[in-house]
Amino acid sequence: MADFGRSFLDMAEAMLGKSSSYTRSSSCNILKSSSSELNANDRCNSDGGEAGKKRALSFMLKEKPSTTNNDTSTISTCSGNSKSNPPQDNARPFIDSPSPDNNNKKSERRRSVDFKMPPKRQRMTAGNYSATDIVQELNCAMSPKERKEALENAMGTFDHNERDIHDNEIEAGADIALVKTLVFLEFKANFRREPIKANREEITLEIGTVLKTLECVYRASSDAVGKSFNRVGTDLLQILVVLIDDEINDSARKNEKKNGGSLEDTYSYVHDLVLRKATKIIGHFARVGMATRPMARFPGFLGSVLNLINMRPYSSIPFEARLSCLWTIANLACNTDNMAMMMSTPNLIDSLVTITNRRPNSGDSIETIMEILRAKSIASRSFLNLSWSPENKILMSENVAVVLALSRLVMERQAPYKSSKTMQNVLVQARRHSIASLRNISAAPRRSKISLCSYNSGKLLDVLTDVALNETDQYVVDLSFSAIHNLAIEETAEAIVDRPALVLALKNVLLEDDNNNDDSQEGERHSVTCQCASATILVLESAITPDKPSYENLRELLDAINPSNTTELNVPITTSQ
């Protein structure tokens, strides 16, 4: 029986020795594996060739999770003491230690296996490659076949929406590797001589693939994207501006040759891919606060973005690219250092006005209609951000096209598809941004207030009155009363009182306030609206004297809101005078 036990152990050890060809005592043993072992893996895991070798090596690198927190290494290291456990040629993945039963001579050749629980594995992404593996592969890829395989692996690994993992990818240098690849392709495409047409198309497609992969990486947090912008932003922006300009020019030339017809399928795909991903990357940079100032001042940047927005026909540019550019402009306008500069940028305000005035046609698809509505909403947000600057308030109040565009947009309450809640929500956002812009513009100096109220027979006051009486979104209604309050001064008081509907709106708000005991956030907002209405009436009462024709309208308003004592509201004004 003892002989049987000894022979069984011998057999088990022999089997373990044969199965340990993939193991090693330190992290270096994997990298020193013989070429015969690699070739064996090639035959087992692939069809052979260089691609199989890479997959085999990557499999070996990822076979065991890292036991350390070092992101630059994916090879596990031995956790035992090297003195008590010296490296062995046939060491198993787990640590072998001498048997504690030293008194039993028959167990001298026995070994106890020290099982250790592996560390908790991070969530793997598609492709099962680590960011470090991908970066190394991208940096080493040179031939077209190697670059193609590296980009395929990178796309399979980076195409997800896990923000924390994207942060780790940027930490590993994925953005740097991809930008270097982009620089190499741009150099290859434009070096010294005009490239062959076929080669140019292949390179452009590869550039689009690099941009697609890089956009995936930039789905990271704003902090990580900001870190990337600090190290590659200037070089990458230069490439993106050139790419956008080239694609716009090529599209314009092809449209002229086609007489407005559709583009070739292959060219259209590559063209759309480059523009969609280049503008998306710009949008990722624009959500980093510290990047908005250098972006807005980057040579040629705003001009390229505006050229894309204004490209005609609209179908010649992918709608995602146009929306990304509008979104970028809106974010750049959040920076107070950019507001005055952007307001004076040629064609910027005119481009936004054109977008807000665009109307869907009867034969447009739902996708086109949604693009139009979303573009209007983003453009109105750009106006809102720009209107915060005191200098811009004056300039925008004097720009008739801006005031009319915002006035029209704030009146759009009917969605093309009544049952579509998405369209309704987009329209509500556009109306909120537009009325907020008008509220800001109406806070301009006195001369601008007079111009706003007198232009086109007081069209702006009529719009604000309509919003106050007929708008379904209470937030928009509240902002309309804020705008009316901003416009109410002695010189505009008669224009306000001469509109019975506007007087009625003021009266309704104050009468509702008497019955409002709501302590919620909505109730507090309504209370602010009532304060605006009350302050407006005080201005009107001080400005409209009994000798003026519009005094009767004001008198009716005062009697309605305070029937018990019609002179009570006059007391504070008289005292202050």
For the segment 464-471, the average pLDDT, to the nearest whole number, is 95
Which segment of 6-10, 126-130, 171-175 scores lowest on mean pLDDT?
6-10
Q: Is 25 exposed, middle or buried (0-12, 13-18, 19+ CB in 10 A)?
A: buried
pLDDT of res. 29: 37
Any idea which of 35-44, 295-304, 306-315, 371-380 has the lowest mean pLDDT?
35-44
Spell out the alpha helix ranges (H) of 32-161. 35-45, 49-61, 131-140, 144-158
The two three-digit tokens of residue 523, written as one number:
């109730």
**Residue 96 dihedral angles phi and psi, to the nearest 5°:** -95, 135
pLDDT of 485 over the 60 cut: yes
Kindly tell me if the per-residue pLDDT of 518 is higher than 60. no
- pTM score: 0.74
Residue ranges of domains in the chain: 128-256+264-334, 338-450
Which residues 6+ apart lie within 8 Å of 458 measured at CB? 495, 499
Alpha-carbon distance of 410 to 407, in angstroms, equals 5
113 - beta bridge partners?
96
What is the average pLDDT across 179-197?
Answer: 80
Confidence (pLDDT) at 481:
95
For the ranges 209-213, 268-272, 337-341, 486-490, the lowest mean pLDDT is seen at 268-272
Please compute the mean of the pLDDT values over residues 161-175 and round it to a whole number: 96
Instruction: Report yes or no: 556 and 502 within 8 Å, Cβ to Cβ.
Output: no
Q: How far apart are CA 336 and CA 320, in angstroms?
A: 27
pLDDT at 84: 37
Q: Residue 143 above 90 pLDDT?
A: yes
Q: Which residue has the higher pLDDT, 482 or 500?
A: 482
Please state which of the ranges 7-21, 125-139, 265-279 shows the lowest mean pLDDT. 7-21
At residue 205, the pLDDT reads 93
Per-residue pLDDT tens over the stretch 205-221: 999 999 999 999 999 99
| pLDDT at 47 (0 to 100) | 44
Give residue 195's pLDDT.
60
Q: With a cut of 70, say whether residue 280 has pLDDT above it.
A: yes
- Contacts of residue 100, defined as CB under 8 A and 6 or more positions apart, other chains included, come to 112
Task: Give burial (CB, 10 Å; 0-12/13-18/19+) of 171.
Answer: middle
**pLDDT tens-digit profile of 531-571?**
999 999 899 988 988 888 878 878 877 776 665 544 433 33
Give the closest residue to 574 by CA, choosing from 531, 536, 532, 545.
545
Mean pLDDT, residues 501-522: 74
Measured CA to CA, the distance from residue 203 to residue 201 in angstroms comes to 5
End-to-end Cα spacing for the chain: 118
Amino acid at site 144: P
**d(Cα 217, Cα 71) in Å, to the nearest integer?**
16
pLDDT of residue 526: 67
In this model, does residue 105 exceed pLDDT 60? no
Contact 158, 174 (CB under 8 A): yes
Is 304 in a helix, a strand, or coil? Answer: helix
Res. 20: pLDDT tops 50: no
Please state, rounded to an integer, the average pLDDT across all residues of the chain. Answer: 79
Share of the chain above pLDDT 70, in %: 69
- The whole-number average pLDDT for the span 316-328 is 96
Res 144 pLDDT > 70: yes
What Cα–Cα distance (Å) separates residue 228 from each residue in 182, 213, 291? 15, 15, 10
| Confidence (pLDDT) at 39 | 38
Judged against a pLDDT cut of 70, whether residue 309 lies above it is answered with yes
Instruction: Identify the weakest region by mean pLDDT among 148-152, 354-358, 437-441, 512-516.
Output: 512-516
Instruction: Please give the Cα distance from 184 to 207 (Å, whole number).
Output: 10
Rounded CA separation 538/551 (Å): 13
Can you name the residues that pair with 114 across neighbouring β-strands? 95
Question: Which class would CATH give 128-256+264-334?
Answer: mainly alpha
